[in-house]
Amino acid sequence: MGVKLTFVGHATWLIEGSKTVLIDPFITSNPQAQEAGITLDSLLDKVDLVVITHGHFDHIENALDFGRKGTPIVGLFEVAQYLAANGAKNTVGCNIGGWFEVEGVKMVYTPAVHSSSLIKDNGEPIYLGNPAGVVIDLDGVRVYHTGDTALFGDMKLIGELYRPDVMLTPIGSLFTMGIPEAVKAVEFVKPKIAIPMHYNTWPPIAQNPEEFKKAVEENPCVDAQVIIVKPGESVEINL
């Protein structure tokens, strides 16, 4: 069983297997996607399903571009309602809880310690429900995108229950876990492969991913392999 994971940049990932899944579509204003030469047009027609972790701009910027052309979008109830009210034709609202399947892709939403809103031009936030992470099972490969999150102890439960093969973890600090927290998160979840994200997009979240890799590899409680994937690069996950 194998899937191909492509890092679009920031927290945006493409998973390609029997279906093509795009997580957290942030492309147009994503400096890492721009640098990698990944355009919205190159993705619009190939994505079967869009999966969203939470409502922040850097996770849903391009959701409506997919939604208005009919690509199914899964998100927490409030995010799904918001997108549907703004022209998305096929949304599936869910919540943190148990496994379900959309378009042949199995997934389960998990907690995340963060926030979830869109800020209007006048500075008022639009409430968009809870933040979340998601475990996606595509062709038997389980990918845990933690969403934007702080470290929390129940990541142990997520590891125990869902046994992710791959963990996509933020290391940027400021808005999410930094490197020390992410190292502990990998220890809690125990994936086979950990891949850092949500860093170096802008100067305030500058981090050296090699420090994360070294710290995970030196942690005697973990035997996860850390793969640093650059924006625009892909990694084949074969189990």
> Given the rule CB under 5 A, which residues bind Mn ion?
58, 148
User: Is the CB of 61 or the CB of 148 nearer to Mn ion?
Assistant: 148
Among 12, 26, 27, 56, binds Ni ion (CB under 5 A): 56
User: Cα(223)–Cα(208) distance, rounded to whole angstroms?
Assistant: 20
Interface with Ni ion: number of residues (CB under 5 A): 2
Position 145 contacts Ni ion (CB under 5 A) = no
Closer to Mn ion by Cβ: residue 16 or 58: 58
Residue 190 touches which member of Ni ion, Mn ion, none, C-beta under 5-8 Å by kind? none
Nearest approach in angstroms of CB 115 to Ni ion is 7
Q: Which of 158, 209, 153, 152 is nearest to 176 (CA)?
A: 152
Part in contact with Ni ion (CB under 5 A); list of ranges 141-149, 150-158, 208-216, 219-227: 141-149
CB of 21 to Mn ion, least distance (A): 19
Q: How far apart are CA 216 and CA 199, in angstroms?
A: 17
| From 36-44, 49-57, 65-73, 216-224, span contacting Ni ion (CB under 5 A) | 49-57
Residue 46 carries which side chain, given as an amino acid letter? Answer: K
CB of 147 to Mn ion, least distance (A): 8
| Binding at 165: pick from Mn ion, Ni ion, none (beta carbon under 5-8 Å per type) | none
Reading the block at residue 43, the tokens are 């993705």
Tell me if 104 sits within 8 A of 135, measured CB to CB.
no
61 binds, among Ni ion, Mn ion, none (CB under 5 to 8 A by kind): none
Which one of 71-79, 138-146, 147-155, 191-199 is the stretch in contact with Ni ion (CB under 5 A)?
A: 147-155
CB-based burial label for 101 (10 Å; 0-12, 13-18, 19+): exposed
Kindly state whether residue 148 participates in binding Ni ion, applying the rule CB under 5 A: yes
E strand segments, the chain: 2-9, 12-16, 20-23, 49-51, 73-76, 91-94, 100-102, 105-111, 117-119, 125-127, 132-138, 141-145, 166-170, 193-197, 225-226, 234-238
**Which residue spans within 44-99 are E strands per DSSP?**
49-51, 73-76, 91-94
Q: How far is the CB of 24 from Ni ion (least distance, A)?
A: 9
The site partner of 24 among Ni ion, Mn ion, none (C-beta below 5 to 8 Å per kind) is: none
Where on the chain is the footprint of Ni ion (CB under 5 A)?
56, 148
